[in-house]
Chain A
Amino acid sequence: MEQILANGVYLGSQYAMIALGLTLIFALMNVLNFAHGQMYVIGGFVTYTFYGQLGVPFVLALIISCLTLAVLGALIEKFLFAPVIKGSAREESTMLLAAGIAFLLDALILLIFGEKQRGVPKIVNGVFNYDFRLIMPYDRIVICVLAILSIIAFICLMQYSKTGRALRALAQDRTAAQLMGVNVDRYSMIGFALGAMLAGLVGGLLVTITGVNLGMGGPTSIKAFMMVMIGGAGVISGAIWGGIILGFMEAIGLAVLSQYGDITYLLIFVSLMIFLAIRPQGLMGKPWG
């Protein structure tokens, strides 16, 4: 039981970070970022290249990962999303763009990093063992703590800094924020960069445990969509709850249902659909986002 709970916390903290980036982008621009999983994979590969290949210290590699994704996100917003949102008759056209970018990032990953599964050396050796009831490698604990710290840092940024205030205002009402003197174009770009950066950060953290490969992007995006739906689209507390709930469901499901084969995800999907039928806006969301 302790083991299941620990696994749940570990998975939940990773998932919450992925969902945070997605929900931030959605809240600000009303864009469903299909390329989120691919950004996560790029983050993993950048950390792999710098930490695993070039021998740069892990923390530095992580920062490089974040910066790469932040710059990439800012460029994508400035040169692709912003003009398309201005020019299209229907908002949903951005979905096509997001899917196109997902394909593009996939192609770039394939050309630059190849299709092989990549892993990096462990950052900390050894295993935490409490009476054989709770077994957890130290590196997982470190990653989990780092993830929780990043989430707290992100919440503080959103709550107490000027940037965070501007972003929250933008998410609530674009026009009103603009009237109050928020530079909408600039903060949209910053918000998108921040969302992409979060994806890069999780990618960099997780590469030390699960490794990284080209095919991880799509499934990660789907998981992120699910978490955002559980919590409510565009709500930050919702994304965190969604991540934790999905993490725990996965941990419990994998432990309890393992003898029935691969039905954990089927059950999660079905219960999600029933849940959404009863409460369409998710746990924390406003109706119709």
Chain B
Amino acid sequence: MKNLTSKQLVGVGLFLFAVFVAVPVLIRITGRWDFYFTLTSVALLAIASAGVWLTFYIGRINIGQGAFALIGAYVSAILVVKGGVSFWISLPAAGLFAALVAILIGLPILRLRGVYFAMITLVLTQVVTLTALALPITNGAKGISSIPLPSGISIFGVPIIPDFAAMENTKLAFYYAACILMILTYAALYRLVNSRLGHLCRSMQQNEELASSIGVNISYIRIVIFAISSFFGGIGGAMFGSIAQSVYPSSFQVADSVNFMLNCFLGGLGYVFGPMLGTLVLYFGWDLLFELGKYQLLVYSLILIAVIRFLPNGLLSLRLGKGGPK
């Protein structure tokens, strides 16, 4: 983070202020408490979308993030409900398990490119949903419900994370937790993109053979990137399951996988914070259009088509002009 300009610092400061102070204050004034749930969902979906964005960064179209989100949600739910583990331990465990699955699956399928990779990841979402229906430990179509709220953590008697069950306003707590996770994710993503690994990814995005001929270990990098991407997916999914207090095979479906991809496209593939903006616009837009009743989907899709028709390079291309990297 050594090259942050003062302008960027101000931007980050404003963003943090908006997320942690302005939004809660505004919600208190307007009394729209339901926005907390919407915004929490946006934050969590943005985490999963960040993973999708990262696979785009090595030139792969990933429509399988729903699969890893579902894996993460199930791992966390099973650990908490059947294993009695604290949620805050199950959260990284869910991410790591998703990453492990990604490595195992990624070894064969990352050799595919372009539309082939896109289609196989789409199928992957369906595979995980069907597996969740078939396995005994996931409880089939009934899913896992009444997952307890996250418990507190304290180190040497100093409480670090309070007990969610004892709180009267869990919505606010979940909102803060999700936002902190999201900011950590995007900070990690920003750091990664501006590191040596990020340069290697960009070289792979342009031409894998060329990168390989210069000595980039492309098969290693794409596995690492896919694992990190799925780690984000697992974390997002696990937190989502905890908020909903239930996981079903239909919690994350093909439509969700497609939405994660759309978030990235809409925000702009060239910008680290693109997926965050894309998720906010898509999810919040969908929510706001709820009042239109049966015309909701019609208006939503028309707006989506209009955006891509007139801004094919994503929303952030408006501000930064054409082709500016990062």
CA distance in complex: A282, B127 (Å): 19
Q: Are B308 and A97 within 8 A (Cβ)?
A: yes
**Nearest chain B CB to A121's CB is how many angstroms away?**
29
Stretch at the interface among B7-15, B86-94, B106-114: B106-114
**Nearest chain A CB to B140's CB is how many angstroms away?**
9
Q: Are A272 and B294 within 8 A (Cβ)?
A: no
CB neighbours (8 Å) of B270 from chain A are: 89
> Is chain B's binding surface mostly helix, strand, loop or mixed?
helix
Q: Are A110 and B127 within 8 A (Cβ)?
A: no
B258-291 to A contact mask, C-beta < 8 Å, 1/0: 1001100110011000000000000000000000
Chain A 134-167 interface residues, beta-carbon cutoff 8 Å to B? none
Q: Are B116 and A106 within 8 A (Cβ)?
A: no
**Nearest chain B CB to A75's CB is how many angstroms away?**
13
Q: Are B297 and A273 within 8 A (Cβ)?
A: no
CA distance in complex: A87, B119 (Å): 24
Q: Are A263 and B308 within 8 A (Cβ)?
A: no
Minimal Cβ-Cβ distance residue in A for B253:
A218
CA distance in complex: A30, B270 (Å): 21
CA distance in complex: A45, B313 (Å): 35
Contact of A34 among B116, B123, B258 (CB under 8 A): B258
Q: Are B309 and A80 within 8 A (Cβ)?
A: yes
Q: Are B126 and A269 within 8 A (Cβ)?
A: yes
Contact of A32 among B115, B124, B262 (CB under 8 A): B115
> Is chain A's binding surface mostly helix, strand, loop or mixed?
helix
A262 within 8 A of B: yes
B96 within 8 A of A: no
B112-156 to A contact mask, C-beta < 8 Å, 1/0: 111110111011101100110110000000000000000000000
Q: Are A99 and B119 within 8 A (Cβ)?
A: no
A270 within 8 A of B: yes
B32 within 8 A of A: no
Contact flag A269-B123 (CB < 8 Å), given A32-B118, A89-B312, A90-B269: yes
Contact of B108 among A88, A103, A225, A273 (CB under 8 A): A273
A sample of 28 inter-chain contacts (CB < 8 A) reads A26-B115, A30-B115, A32-B115, A84-B308, A88-B312, A92-B269, A93-B313, A95-B261, A96-B262, A97-B308, A99-B262, A101-B301, A104-B301, A107-B297, A107-B300, A218-B255, A225-B123, A229-B119, A233-B115, A266-B127, A269-B130, A273-B124, A276-B109, A276-B112, A277-B109, A280-B112, A289-B115, A289-B116
**17 more CB-based (< 8 A) A-B contacts, given A92-B61, A262-B130:** A83-B309, A84-B312, A96-B266, A97-B309, A100-B308, A104-B302, A107-B300, A110-B297, A225-B119, A228-B119, A233-B115, A263-B130, A269-B123, A276-B109, A276-B112, A277-B109, A280-B112
Interface set of B (CB-CB < 8 Å, partner A): 56, 61, 105, 108-109, 111-116, 118-120, 122-124, 126-127, 130-131, 133-134, 254-255, 258, 261-262, 265-266, 269-270, 294-295, 297-298, 300-302, 304-305, 308-309, 312-313, 322-323
